[in-house]
């Protein structure tokens, strides 16, 4: 959602990246959206009050000798978390709005940590050669046993595709995330190769139209999809963790469209007129815009509406438009639904605002 940008010419004050992440609290383990700013030697985070970022930082994470774990998959229903383990043994858990955002944040933080190590004259001698494969002589049965483990294996959950809810299955990207996290593969490409082998041997099977079509049309190296919408399950002879079932409901139809865009935006409440960070997900065919409470999960939306007949418009930042409350940051836009409900939404940057407006207009 947020692209890296430099805001200052001073080396220590250079902003490498900034944007919303959801952070787990240290004392009370709840999840709250915070505005993060990545500097060359630290990661700062701020709170949004009344729709505007406060000027006082709420905390900082020093990056010297920090260890990044990405993906970090020990939180059920939160597959987009990365973990930072600081030099002083403190763990920070941060959740992004998409796998792309998570991996980009992890890459930028890793690069900053590496530069700090290089400055100190340290050499990472114990790192594995990234070109060295570890897939030879691997025991597929042991991999399957690990995947199937109730406590540390792949989490089975419900997924939606084309109006049907499939239970007791998982996505292709969840498999890849898990294999990298468990160090069964050095990178995503290796994980896809390993998952493809499991599929070819009959340990995994396709669920739903997307993965079935990929199996039918793709070459051997492309049969397994590193995709959050391609669904898989364990083979039929593994019944202990439940068979795959498909159910259809109205809400499933709303959530069955292709995801066009995901990102954190601020939304004004209809009753209290307060501003809260929400995870917005734009889908097509059918065209819907749903929003989720990032303190909870991205499975059950707290609201949403069809984009059929909607009007979306940019609001000027010189003055507060009628109907908008609070000390807002800016970059406002408005959506009027077919039922004449007005949604006021605030993007982190002007470019984000225009990107969302263009994406929504493309579905109305």
- Judge if 343 and 314 occupy the same domain: yes
Is there a domain that residue 134 lies in?
no
Tell me whether the omega of the peptide bond preceding residue 71 falls within 30 degrees of 0, making it cis: yes
CA 132 from chain centre, in angstroms, equals 29
Predicted pLDDT at 261 = 95
- Residue 340, sorted as left (phi over 0), alpha (psi -120 to 50) or beta, turns out to be left
- Judge if 311 and 337 occupy the same domain: yes
CA distance 297 to 280: 12
CB 19 within 8 A of CB 48: no
Is there a domain that residue 81 lies in?
yes
* pLDDT, tens digit (0-9, with 9 covering 90-100), for 54-85: 777 778 888 999 999 999 988 878 889 999 99
Given a cut of 50, whether residue 165 has pLDDT beyond it is yes
- Judge if 51 and 29 occupy the same domain: yes
CATH number at residue 191: 1.10.10.10
- Judge if 153 and 199 occupy the same domain: yes
Given a cut of 70, whether residue 250 has pLDDT beyond it is no
Q: How far is CA 211 from CA 10, 208, 215, in A?
A: 49, 6, 6
* pLDDT, tens digit (0-9, with 9 covering 90-100), for 211-227: 888 877 765 556 789 99
- Judge if 280 and 228 occupy the same domain: no
Predicted pLDDT at 90 = 81
- Judge if 96 and 114 occupy the same domain: yes
Is there a domain that residue 3 lies in?
no
- Judge if 24 and 98 occupy the same domain: yes
For the chain, the C-alpha Rg in angstroms (whole number) is 22
Where b means 16+ CB within 10 Å and e means fewer, 317-342 reads: eeeeeeebebebbbbbbbbebeeeee
Given a cut of 50, whether residue 130 has pLDDT beyond it is no
The residue out of 248, 278, 309 marking a domain boundary is: 248
* pLDDT, tens digit (0-9, with 9 covering 90-100), for 84-129: 998 878 889 999 999 999 999 999 999 999 999 887 765 444 444 4
| pLDDT-wise least confident of 180-189, 195-204, 215-224, 260-269 | 215-224
CA distance 5 to 348: 13
Is there a domain that residue 296 lies in?
yes
The residue out of 198, 224, 248 marking a domain boundary is: 248
CA distance 292 to 298: 6
Is there a domain that residue 4 lies in?
no
For 182-232, the DSSP string reads TTSSSSHHHHHHHHHHHHHTTSEEEEHHHHHHHHHHS-GGGSS---TT-EE
- Judge if 263 and 209 occupy the same domain: no
3-state helix, strand, coil in the chain (%, to 5): 25, 30, 45
Provide the β-strand partners of residue 166: 159, 246
CA distance 176 to 180: 6
- Judge if 166 and 241 occupy the same domain: yes
Predicted pLDDT at 209 = 86
**CA angle 279–280–286, rounded 5-degree value:** 145
pTM: 0.70
CA distance 71 to 155: 14
Residue whose C-alpha is closest to residue 247's, from 341, 139, 159: 159
pLDDT band per the 50, 70, 90 thresholds, residue 289 = very high
Given a cut of 70, whether residue 4 has pLDDT beyond it is no
Is there a domain that residue 1 lies in?
no
- Six-digit token pair at 343? 């949604």
- Judge if 277 and 232 occupy the same domain: no
- Judge if 265 and 339 occupy the same domain: yes
| Alpha carbon distance, N-terminus to C-terminus of the chain | 22
Domain count, the chain: 3
* pLDDT, tens digit (0-9, with 9 covering 90-100), for 32-43: 999 999 999 999
Q: Percentage of the chain surpassing pLDDT 90?
A: 42
Is there a domain that residue 55 lies in?
yes
Is there a domain that residue 271 lies in?
yes
Predicted pLDDT at 11 = 64
- Six-digit token pair at 118? 């290089």
Q: How far is CA 360 from CA 42, 245, 309, in A?
A: 36, 33, 11
The residue out of 203, 226, 248 marking a domain boundary is: 248
* pLDDT, tens digit (0-9, with 9 covering 90-100), for 311-352: 999 987 666 677 787 777 788 999 999 999 999 999 999 999
The domain in which residue 29 lies consists of: 17-119
Residues 6+ apart with CB under 8 A from 71: 79, 80, 81, 82, 102, 177, 178, 180, 181
CATH number at residue 81: 2.30.29.30
- Judge if 145 and 110 occupy the same domain: no
């Amino acid at each position: 959602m947020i692209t890296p940008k430099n805001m200052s010419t001073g080396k220590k004050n250079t902003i490498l990246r900034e944007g919303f992440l959801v952070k787990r609290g240290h004392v009370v383990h709840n999840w709250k959206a915070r505005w993060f700013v990545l500097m060359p030697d630290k990661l700062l985070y701020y709170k949004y009050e009344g729709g505007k970022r406060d000027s006082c930082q709420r905390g900082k994470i020093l990056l010297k000798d920090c260890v990044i774990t990405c993906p970090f998959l020990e939180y059920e229903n939160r597959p987009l978390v990365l973990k930072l383990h600081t030099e002083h043994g403190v763990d920070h858990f941060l959740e992004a709005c998409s796998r792309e955002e998570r991996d980009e944040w992890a890459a930028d933080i890793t690069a900053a940590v590496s530069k700090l190590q290089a400055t100190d004259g340290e050499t990472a001698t114990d790192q594995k050669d990234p070109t060295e494969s570890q897939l030879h002589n691997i025991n597929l049965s042991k991999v399957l046993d690990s995947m199937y483990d109730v406590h540390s294996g792949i989490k089975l959950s419900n997924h939606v595709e084309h109006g049907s809810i499939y239970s007791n299955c998982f996505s292709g990207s969840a498999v890849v995330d898990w294999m990298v996290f468990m160090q069964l593969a050095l990178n995503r490409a290796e994980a896809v190769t390993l998952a493809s082998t499991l599929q070819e041997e009959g340990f995994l099977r396709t669920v739903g139209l997307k993965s079935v079509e990929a199996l039918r049309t793709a070459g051997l190296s492309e049969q397994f999809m590193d995709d959050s919408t391609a669904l898989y399950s364990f083979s039929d002879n593994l019944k202990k963790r439940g068979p795959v079932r498909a159910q259809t409901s109205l809400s499933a139809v709303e959530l069955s469209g292709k995801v066009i865009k995901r990102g954190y935006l601020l939304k004004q409440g209809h009753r209290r007129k307060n501003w809260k960070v929400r995870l917005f997900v734009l889908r097509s065919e059918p065209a819907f815009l749903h929003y989720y409470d990032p303190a909870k999960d991205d499975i059950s939306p707290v609201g949403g509406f069809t984009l059929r007949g909607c009007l979306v418009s940019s609001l000027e930042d010189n003055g507060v438009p009628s109907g908008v409350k609070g000390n807002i940051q800016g970059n406002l836009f408005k959506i009027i639904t077919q039922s004449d409900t007005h949604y006021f939404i605030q993007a982190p940057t002007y470019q984000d605002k225009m990107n969302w407006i263009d994406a929504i207009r493309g579905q109305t």
